[in-house]
Structure 1
């Protein structure tokens, strides 16, 4: 057992303070405590500092102590420090004084004094008294620092002479890495506590950032759904041989079901203004939520790469409209097995580069971009439809309806329609899963509901139906079904003259705008949200978005869209894993938690939180997700790898994967919480006020500018 004592001659000044940005000296915990055992001596120093003070103190200690001491630095939120003190994990006594003296030079360390004298707390005091005085000192220091909450920074100093005869050769490397990591830390905005469970990007959205009206949600979904992926979902069904009317049936049913899932899964964000990573903490547990977050991060990376590749194809079309001999101007040096030429890869990189500035914009500031992009793509799609129907000659639309298209009738057309329904849902399953990330910006809950329940299905159905009609109308003219728009516009360039090339250039430009509009909010920012929740100390939304963009290159997206069959398999494969996750989230909101959330506990990473479950994991969620995923796996494997053969029943289950996974996971999750309930969660849900009262009081408090989460962290401290 270590005993906290004061060293008689510490090897560094016992009083160090660091000036903050305002020139007012911050208030560190004075002095050092030496913890001795019979084997080695350990020096412990604590300070209360934030901003630029921490690296200055670290460099000061390293300079004064020299290479014979190893310095370990741990930054803890105030709350975590008190918790460790109270549980005995950290045992130290520290002297305290009054307010710090005024620093003459902000960068110069100054003594911490009170009324010209130095005070101290006796080491004989019990731990409760130390914690009590530390609380009072923290409150006083926070007021001095203009209310900006600070960190408790613990320095553990170990003399190498006590540990080994020679100084560690890794000392300088470790010190350098610590300095680099410190420089990578983000500046926490809005006074948010630098806590592992919260930062500015994942805290509940205050009134000032809730700017999305019903019209904003309408334009958002028009932009998200009026894109090449939605177009390709419908047109690829035509390419597989379905008649136009069966393809439209699949599209309509799929989008109506998807609209229901979108609205239901966005309600926690609309009412409590919480994002996807935080919502999943009450579903999977505080640590368990990392499982679904990392799944979503991976999905964001893959989907960004896929959408960026399509955007690159649009850039390629624009360049080819200007230089028809583009492939000769940029000779191909890539293998045919790569699935992409050098010119196409250059176009892909160009699209990636022009997307970067949009990724810098905060989500609540994207409204004008949505309005402009949605207007451009809507005009383009209707012009495209009119042109495609006009290519059929005098018969026009009637010829499209009556034309059956080339090829033999498709076997099992009914199940192919079902496959089309699930593929339609799969195309937007990622958006369904993380819709709370955007619903939380709603001014009022009804803005999110009304803005999505109508605009989502209508915009998606119209775009997909346009894809069906355009593909059906043009396949006779070009001799094949061009189910993806870049390919269709490329055919226009190849078969037309200068006018066709000019039209193709503007069409490609409209598609580039559309792809940026769908890819940045739908994938880059979604990945940014999730990475910010996973590494809040080093990553915010912007850094996370750029990391998502950079990693997306590694997924070889050009392999995903080589044929219509592969494209539909890719879309439906996401539904295998995301359908069960969506079922967990919706059943947790309506059945298990009954819309009653204790928001401050969603940011409390210890057993005092009602969402801690078992060591931070809700094992019920994992079992339910596995139960919902496993039935679809055999059919999924057989679809991806044609060398694998499974009974037809497994294929049928796979074709229903989203609905099967959703229903099974929701049923198992709710049933396990009913049969094996979590005691603390059950007690809160059964004794708390009605959900309407809780939501009303919660919204009133944050509308008045009260931050319940950070208030609780400070009050617990």
Structure 2
């Protein structure tokens, strides 16, 4: 019986099969294979998707860590570009399954982990995404609050009303009093700086004798202002203003709403947002060239010609840095079928990702380098944080433009990277009850409940370490998927059986493919050992290369162990029997 139809390189369920699956507990309209007629994403859409995701504050600051570790600017850019070019290989290969069969990530997981076992990898990916969703919403809310505070007096008043304290070691009244006192001192110091600048301008015009004295006073006042700024930032760490509450809620609602609208809304947002983000990056580069007096003058500040070339020192810095760049988007390599299922062809998804991912990551790391070097020329110090750079200009117009740019960059990253995967994963938990839209709302609620303001307040950066470690457990999944789809199934899947419980060939035993679980846990053991025991240099090497090591081990373990169970395999002759051409 023909259950699926193949047109070129794309496969869809037949109308009769769809009707027969409508009562299945594993099937709903959001998880079903996308009909070929609705697969409309082309090269431009995939390139725009990646531009929207890649342009974000972490990308802007990527090169800073590499330069601080000893690289020069072009070595840092090269490492960013190369790492993303490498991760693109497994990403595009996993995307092939989504494009060919039109299935989202949780359904793709059923082929290897089983109809019930697929919940584990899907929820692992969802857990990371929910954490980052909340954090990105808080970060986006902060930039929105800065822009609104500098644009509207009433919002500026709201931002001075401290309403919430979450430091358990401080009483509410005392904490609010501290931040209020620090704010008043900061405001007073800023006014002193402003007045001194005006006096100096008058003395310069009149060639007054007190010019040198006033300039010395100005330098002292600026240093005092920076000290008060640091005290204010520290006292504000555990206190939230009313303006920040509203800014976070506005940004959170916008993110949830766009995610709720689904794939077409995301496609629209990424498509029009991409050229704006690229244009803003180009403007920042031109500004840096202008203030430095030219391209080469700008890069002389950090250029270290031939310092590491051919040396073992560079290799020791380069290899762990490269692994870090590979891991940056490694989670998206897993759930890329969530997007590639909408591709018109394999060419569209591959070429779009080739254009959009490594080039954009390299370009915006370059934007970050230029912006920071420009800050050295103008302000006398390297400012890697774009929000701090905006604040230094002390211009409402620039704050609005820059705030909008960061707002757009954060939202395009957050929706695509952190909403789609968990929404589909939650829908897969109970397809008859939870739709994609309900899954998107659940994602937003969890992102709120994790209280990102608390997570980001920790000076140790614990949350980023936790998410980084958590992400390392996702690496072996990529190798397992590659082994399953290309080595075990030979790219031949029975679409109908992916949605049939109990009797389908992907049910395995009680809905779980225990071989996949064994292969996965064997692959993460080396990394777990490095967390539990001090293994010296060997342990550090495993941690620094955890994604690559996990991928290779899981591929090998799964490919070898699956020889014990061939029941899920669709032979070439069986594939021809269930597939009609045309």
Q: Matched residue of 1:342: which SS?
A: strand
The answer to whether structure 1 residue 294 and structure 2 residue 190 are counterparts is no
**Residue ranges of structure 2 left out of the alignment (5+ in a row):** 1-14, 168-233
The answer as to whether partners of 1:583 and 1:661 remain within 8 angstroms in 2 is yes
2:250 aligned residue: 350
**Secondary structure of 2:409's partner?**
helix
Contact 1:526 1:545 in 2 (8 A): no
1:264 equivalent to 2:93? Answer yes
Residue in structure 2 matched with residue 403 of structure 1 by the alignment: 302
Distance 1:422 1:627, change over 3 A: same
* Root mean square deviation, CA, Å: 3.2
Matched, 1:651 2:578: no
Structure 2 CA distance for partners of 1:504 and 1:414, relative to 1, 3 Å: farther
1:665 corresponds to 2:561: no
Cα displacement string for residues 137-177 of structure 1 (whole angstroms, at most 9, x for unaligned residues): xxxxxxxxxx999xxxxxxxxxxxxxxxxxxxxxxxxxxxx
Matching of residue 221 in structure 1 with residue 221 in structure 2: no
Partner of 1:542: 437
SS at match of 2:277: helix
Residues 395-444 of structure 1 deviation map (CA, whole Å, 9 limit, x = unaligned): 55433244269xxx9x9664443333222222212211100011011122
CA distance in 2, matches of 1:567, 1:487: 22
Count residues with an aligned counterpart.
490
TM-score (norm 2): 0.76
Question: In structure 2, how many angstroms separate the alpha carbons of the residues matched to 1:528 and 1:585?
Answer: 21
Deviation of the 1:290 alpha carbon: 0.9
Matched, 1:467 2:363: no
Q: Does 1:246 align with 2:75?
A: yes
Distance in 1, Cα, partners of 2:581 & 2:239:
54
Matches within 5 A, 1:147-546: 193-238=22-67, 242-322=71-151, 329-331=160-162, 333-334=164-165, 335=167, 339=237, 341-343=239-241, 344-391=244-291, 393-403=292-302, 414-475=315-376, 477-478=378-379, 480-493=381-394, 500-546=395-441
Aligned partner (choices 564, 572, 576) of residue 472 of structure 2: 576
Larger Rg computed on CA atoms: 1
Give the Å deviation of 1:360.
Answer: 2.7
CA distance in 2, matches of 1:300, 1:258: 18
How far the C-alpha of 1:323 sits from its partner, in A, is: 5.8
Report the 3-state secondary structure (helix = DSSP H, G, I; strand = E; otherwise coil) of the residue aligned with 1:681: coil
Task: Work out whether 1:680 is the aligned partner of 2:567.
Answer: yes
Asked if the contact 1:561/1:567 (under 8 Å) is kept, the reply is no
Note closer, same or farther for the CA distance 1:333–1:366 as it changes in structure 2 (3 Å cut).
Answer: closer
Q: How many angstroms does 1:331 deviate by?
A: 3.2
Q: RCO (CA 8 Å, sep 6+): is it higher in 1 or 2? A: 2
Q: Give 1:574 shift.
A: 4.5
Change beyond 3 A, Cα 1:546–1:600 = same
CA contact (8 A) 1:524 1:546 kept: no
Task: Describe the shift of the 1:191–1:507 C-alpha distance in structure 2 as closer, same or farther (beyond 3 A).
Answer: farther
Q: 1-side partners of 2:159 and 2:348: how far apart?
A: 52
Structure 1 residues 471, 627: closer, same or farther in 2, change over 3 A? Answer: farther
Instruction: After TM superposition, list the pairs within 5 Å mapping 1:18-167 onto structure 2.
Output: none
Note closer, same or farther for the CA distance 1:472–1:191 as it changes in structure 2 (3 Å cut). Answer: farther
Q: Given the two structures, how large is their TM-score scaled by the length of structure 1?
A: 0.63
Quickly say closer, same or farther: Cα 1:389–1:673, change in 2 above 3 A: same
* Post-superposition CA distance 1:646-674 (Å, at most 9, x none): 41210111111111111111111111113
Report the equivalent of 1:622.
517
1:439-477, Cα deviation, whole Å (9 max, x unpaired): 011122222222222322212221222223323442464
Report the Cα distance in structure 2 between the residues aligned to 1:366 and 1:470, rounded to whole angstroms. Answer: 29
Judging changes above 3 Å, is the alpha-carbon distance between structure 1 residues 395 and 236 closer, same or farther for their aligned structure 2 residues?
same
Offset, 1:506: 1.0
Q: Distance in 1 between matches of 2:373 and 2:19?
A: 54
Shift of 1:357: 2.7
Choose between structure 1 and 2: higher helix proportion: 2
Determine if contact 1:423/1:572 at 8 Å carries over to the other structure: no
